[in-house]
Structure 1
Amino acid sequence: MILLRVVQGLSVGGEWGGAALMAFEHAHPKRRGFAASFATAGQPSGALVAGVVLAIFALMPDDQFLSWGWRVPFALSGVLVIFGVWIRLRVSESPLFLEEKDRQSRSVEKPKAPIIEVLRQPRTLVLSFVALLAPFLSFTLSGAFGITYGATHGLSTSNVLFVSSAGSLVAIFAELGFAALSDNIGRRPVMIGGVVVGVASVYPFFALLQTGSTSGALLAFSLINGLAIGATFGPLAAFMGERFQTSSRFTGLSLGYQIAATLGGGFGPLIFTALIVNNTSDVTPIVWVVAGVSVLSVIALALSTDNEVEAPTAVTTGPAVTTDPAVIEPVK
């Protein structure tokens, strides 16, 4: 299981960046936030389906669930592999990528490896992953740590999984909505607001879970998923896409995202557990940690600068050439 989880993590490391990038670069310049958010919203969508299926099987007697019941949801996920392969066989390169590829073919200079281009701009990379640290801490709270915390404070495993799934449903629509808002007022104002709300949500989140009631847990997960996660993860893909040039965007976007996911999402549960190991009811140390990291994220967001990402100047799609991004057809 550990080996499969590592392989899954490596796969997601490339999957999210590629999916977000394809949506970002295919979209109209004024709708890139909304378009790219569908890749990010795929995470709570998957969590919703997985949580519901797992919650159903968790209704089984404990001995049956622990011996074989938990394996069935994993086996069912194999169906999605077929769907994923089908998508990959049909997807086309983005107009922006084709334009960049054409430019490089006509250039006398040998193109540099994307990782070299990204590392030559350490300020952009550092600001990018620091900006995402606070969002990933909120994501950690609503994910594995929040589920475990709820299960140890009076909620049954099945109930907390259903409630967490409901929170994922809220996150899907919140991410799409806040991403559309970022197309109108900018990525950074929306994300900074989400980080601030994320800090304010920590204490109420734990207080509601400590009640041990299903309604309290539902409100807790809806609060943090709808506001903190929705406002930060919704514009996130477009925000990252606008940090890097087309030639190195895939590498920069994926690297910044995964560093933040490792530090914030990976070490977050370990840090939170260590902080409350002696008193699970006193979450004040967690609040201070989230607040401190959030200050760093707000500063990074404020200092981040966009790279101008315009529509392709000309994209060849068979015999015709068009410059209107609203009518560009996929290149087969």
Structure 2
Amino acid sequence: MTVGEGPALGQGVGRSAGATVDGDPSPPSEVRRVTASTFAGNTIEYYDFILYGSAAALIFGPLFFSNLSPTMAAIASFSTLATGYLCRPLGGLLFGYLGDRYGRKPTLLATMVLMGLATGLIGLLPTTSQVGIWAPVMLIALRLTQGIAVGGEWGGAALMTAEHAPPARRGWITAIGQAGQPSGGALAMGAMALVALLPGEQLLSWGWRIPFLVSFALLLIALYMRVRISESPLFEELQRAENSQRKHRRPVSELFLEHRGALLRGILVSIPPSLMVTLVSSFCVSYAVAAGFSRSTVLTAVGVAFATAIPTNPIYGHLSDRLGRRPVYAAGTLAVAVLVFPLFWAIDSGSTLWLFVAFIVAYALVAPAIGAGLAAILSEMFTTPVRFTGVSMSFQIGAIISGLFPVVATSLLVLGDQRPIWVAVLVLVIALLSTLIVTKIRESSGDRLTLDATEGIR
């Protein structure tokens, strides 16, 4: 099946009921351009977001909460990390509405600028020793801005690729875009690992700022790529149909009134992929340093795991096209359940080799099975008029659990007398529940994306 093959507006095709189309044909060159733009956008967005997570684990406690004990400073630092996740649904709602109402491309340009500026400005912040309480206040404000920006970015970038991709290859093509997440993580961890080599005084005075200031340059590169892509063909077809019938959509109200079931399912399947990111890039970083590894060693191990996950994401995306979204996702969640205890045993072993093996297996081999097909899964759950809002809200509400995880896990670590037994149990329970949930979701690989649930525009 080639890009753009399909029926006209109003014809029902495929396994899902209702009118389904692929939109106007997207040339292969445009599909490649959009995929590259999505990859670059995700790389930079997640460089910014994961950079904050690693800094929260290693740097922000003594800089912005120096008046607290080390344990309380760590919890406070992770709490600022959580505020970004709590704001992500707001960003998903705001930019989802704008993307469904006025277009995918301009909305994605806005989220990119907002994220890049917020991250760069973190690198210019004064610390608590310089301005007192205003330092953490400004840090939290910029973290909230990051959360709002990434709340709109992920969903828009995911569906932009999905709406250009041919149905038979949607899992693979969207997974290439999603490979930008580990790419951004690898860059963030590499940057932090380099500055962590500085003497402690230099690291805490000026070295930590450099990775954040780099975001200004990355923003310019991403904007150049993003302005060159075309608008989604499905969105353009929807606008033409809407204009001819003089109808106006209300994406937010339509989502909550008519697509509640899809939204709930989308939230539930979005929790494990986000959880794996925060587990590996934030909590396990802090835990491994406390276990005796140097900051630079831990960050390098996580960076290698992220880099290794770049090629494995498209592989799992391709498997989701061939085998189905559900079996690949379920295999990933079951692997998490099996391997979560060995993950902590490897860290506790004190062996650098086992540390690297643990992070690579967790993030490069297991996590992509859950996350690589998520963009396709969520895009296939919603119709075009509410797809931006639906995909964004599903992913970002699910991500709230992930944002709270480091705080909860650190508290469970204290409860377990610094042993991770209860943290591992929590991850195990979430993984098993997720495996059960995904078996209840309809298989959608190969489906054409739905323009609207009924013929024409309501």
Please report the TM-score for the alignment, with normalisation by the length of structure 2.
Answer: 0.65
**Superposition pairs for residues 39-58 of structure 1, below 5 Å?**
39-58=177-196
The residue type equivalent to 1:113 in the other structure is R
Asked whether the 8 Å contact 1:153–1:210 carries over to 2, the reply is yes
Q: 1:138–1:228: 8 Å Cα contact kept in structure 2?
A: no
In structure 1, what is the Cα distance between the partners aligned to 2:330 and 2:407? 25
2:264 matched to which residue of 1?
Answer: 126
Deviations 1:52-109 (A, max 9, x none): 121111111000010000101111121111012212321211222222222222235x
Q: Which residue of 2 aligns with 1:275?
A: 412
Question: 1: distance between equivalents of 2:179 and 2:338?
Answer: 23
What is the rounded CA distance, in whole Å, between the counterparts of 2:417 and 2:193 in structure 1?
Answer: 25
In the aligned structure 1, how far is the partner of 2:324 from the partner of 2:219? 35
Among 325, 330, 342, the alignment partner of 1:204 is 342
User: Does the 8 Å contact 2:190/2:303 carry over to 1?
Assistant: yes
With 1-10 and 197-206 compared, the bigger mean Cα shift is at 1-10
Runs of 4+ in 1 over 4 A off after TM superposition: 306-309
- Partner Cα distance (2:332, 2:296) in 1: 29
Q: Which runs of 5+ in 1 are unaligned?
A: 314-332
Gap change, CA 1:112 and 1:274, over 3 Å in 2? same
Q: Where does the alignment leave 5 or more consecutive residues of structure 2 unmatched?
A: 1-138, 452-458
**Structure 1 residue 69 and structure 2 residue 207: aligned?**
yes
Distance across 1 between alignment mates of 2:331 and 2:348: 26
> Displacement of 1:152 after TM fit?
0.7
Instruction: Quote the Cα distance in structure 1 between the aligned partners of 2:217 and 2:238.
Output: 36
Q: Deviations over 1:307-329 (max 9, x none)?
A: 7852799xxxxxxxxxxxxxxxx
* Kept in 2: contact 1:187–1:239 (CA 8 A): yes
Decide which moves more: 272-281 or 16-25: 272-281
CA contact (8 A) 1:28 1:311 kept: no
Question: What secondary structure is seen at the aligned counterpart in 2 of 1:143?
Answer: helix
Equivalent residue for 2:381? 243
Q: CA deviation at 1:281?
A: 5.4
State yes or no: 1:166 paired with 2:292. no
1:255 aligns with 2:379: no
CA distance in 2, matches of 1:215, 1:149: 16
CA distance in 2, matches of 1:76, 1:291: 37
Q: For each residue in 1:242-289, what CA deviation from the matched residue of structure 2 results, as whole angstroms up to 9, or x when unmatched?
A: 0000111111001000001112x1111112111121445533322322
Range with greater deviation from structure 2 (243-252 or 119-128)? 119-128
Query: Which residue identity is paired with 2:406?
Result: P
Structure 2 CA distance for aligned equivalents of residues 125 and 312 of structure 1: 16
Residues 329 and 373, structure 2, Cα contact 8 Å, conserved in 1: yes
Structure 2 counterpart of 1:229, from 367, 372, 395: 367
Contact 1:175 1:234 in 2 (8 A): yes
Partners of 1:309 and 1:245 in 2: CA distance? 12
Moved more, 186-195 or 84-93: 84-93
User: Which of 304-313 and 85-94 deviates more?
Assistant: 304-313
Q: So what's the TM-score if we normalise by structure 1?
A: 0.88
CA contact (8 A) 1:37 1:176 kept: yes
Trace 1:68-107 onto structure 2 (pairs within 5 A). Answer: 68-107=206-245
Equivalent in the alignment of 1:15: 153
Which segment is superposed worse, 238-247 or 137-146?
Answer: 137-146
AA aligned opposite 1:31: R
